[in-house]
Structure 1
Amino acid sequence: MLTHRSRTLAIAGTISGCGLLFAACTTDGSGDANNSDPTAAVVATTTQVGSIAEQITQCAGGETQILMSAGDDPHQFEASSAQIADMVTADLVLINGLGLEASMQRSIENAESDGAEVFEVAPQLDPLPLGDDHDHEHDHGESEESHDHAGHEHDHGEDEESHEHGSYDSHVWLDVARMADGAELVGERIAETSGDDTYVSCGADVAESLRETDAEIEDILGEMDSPRLVTDHAAYGYFADRYGIEISGVVIPGGSTDGEPSSQDLASLTSLLDDEGADALVTSKANTNRMISALAQETEQDIPVVELYESAIGEPGSDAETYQDAMLYNANALAEAVN
């Protein structure tokens, strides 16, 4: 049986329809949340996907185990043998995908070969190419109306096959609207695996929570005039694409954290900051990049360093313990630093 890491959800602070969400949890059928036996046991790799899955399974009477913790770098995290065994025995394993979990890819493949059912979330969410300038529009406003979730007309199978790992940006969670679509897909997939349609309605409720969070973030960041950021690595393409942010420079290119910039690269970034400035230097709270601090000291400009919840959400009990809370924290922290 899975070792479930319980977490008190702070959904009430992030959605206005909390009563509706938990009304779905107390239905009479196999999805009864009061049932002592979970209707589905889910394992999720990252804290962001795990937070969303946990809200869905708690609503529907299941359980979610999250492999990574708030201090883990998803690019470099390696699963333990016990965690691999949990993936094999779970009803469903949720991974971000698109090469994010690079250091545990072999473990995922081994678990899958031993019978684990694995669902990659990011390839289903219209991923952006690595290195793209992200100028194109992703019309989330229409997605809620145009996606026929009841009819399962997603046609994601073709997308999953065509999105080669490594050629697309894996940091999809930095666009909350995309993750709202993901919540619906996760609910549907758990329902298919468990045979319990309660997960479909719970996924839809969590998706609505996420769309409300997305609207809040748009309001917060919309008060700024296209702020220009220099980031620790190429992780913020979705954030820029969705919320009108400009990425002026990146310390570690390529979308992963396992690299080092050359002295020439750092000199070029310093010159860029001296000549053009930036509104903020951004790094991850969980895995702070020392090069960001070095750039702040080297440049002639007075540029704030902002630590955001990028690689993981916050610890249980913190002000960023859910995915919604973490993304709202990011928006507020950035707005406060820039303004």
Structure 2
Amino acid sequence: MTTLELVPGLVTTREAIAAAYGCGTFQGIEPADEAGMVFVYSDPSAGAEYGYTFDGRAEDDEFGPLYLYTGAGAKGDQKPSGRNSSLITHAEKERELHLFIAHGKVPGSGAMQQRYVGQMVLDPIQPYEQRWAPGADGVLRRVLVFRLRPAPGSTLDEANPIEPATQDTLIELPEPPKASEPVKAAKVPQQTQAKDKQTEQHATAQTTANVTGGKREVIRREGQLVTAFEAHLKSLGHMVKSFQITVKGERGTLVPDLYDATDNALYEAKGKSRREDVRMAIGQLLDYRRHIGAPSGLRLVVLLPSYPSDDVQDLLVAEGIYLVVQAGDTFEGFPLSAASV
């Protein structure tokens, strides 16, 4: 094999990468088993052809820089298997994950150039988000939007931001999106072939290497809470769904946790019942209400794993927002009262 030094900002081709590391050249996720690597090729324009723009650098969150990447599978629901599994299990199998972004055509050729961003790790707390988008056949399907973080010593300086939405859109989802399970804790692979730019020896302030287990548990609890309540509603014959919203000029999507079409009630769940969590849920519900076009009389509901303080409960009453709390196998506050809160 030939050699190729991976330096952020390097512009190369898939063929050159394959010659150096022994991976394929045609898919968006290309494992190189003998080299102990997984290569990810992101091309936001490919999704834009079908009307969605999930790929790109997202806004930094509390854990630092974040890059979103739509998984493998052009038609039908994407699943966490096959090439997507290569990405999900890269840390567990101690394989390096390297991100490239499409960088125009090779002069005088139809081949696409690739710009190297750096070594990544899959977010161990929330590996991917489930979104809905049209496939190559035009049929709406579930897609997996992976959440990539810079590995220690890497940055997202070479990554392009997600393109803003060109129009307001509202997609009714036949069911609430399912939360991904956290990936197994594993030692973050150390960089071997990748090198920092000599003039930019940055280290990310927050990476997956120091994400705490506490946040992992909160997210898992929130997902389990939504799943349990959805099952409860369906057992009573309720029609449950959600929405996927894009806002013109803004990046990313808005997805409410759950909409009960039978009761015309919109729910936002939180994994803890602290004041800051409830305040965030209130803001999200008010924002979603503006966009979903629900029938008149929509009720807003905060779904929690335990009761908040008396004063926070008074806040919900003052804002006309219902409260439902999990209590073992049942949910207190449900069914919702017919009268206004």
Give the TM interval when normalised to the shorter protein: under 0.3
Larger helix share, 1 or 2? 1
Higher RCO, 1 or 2 (CA under 8 Å, sep at least 6)? 1
| TM-score, scaled to structure 1 | 0.27
Larger strand share, 1 or 2? 2
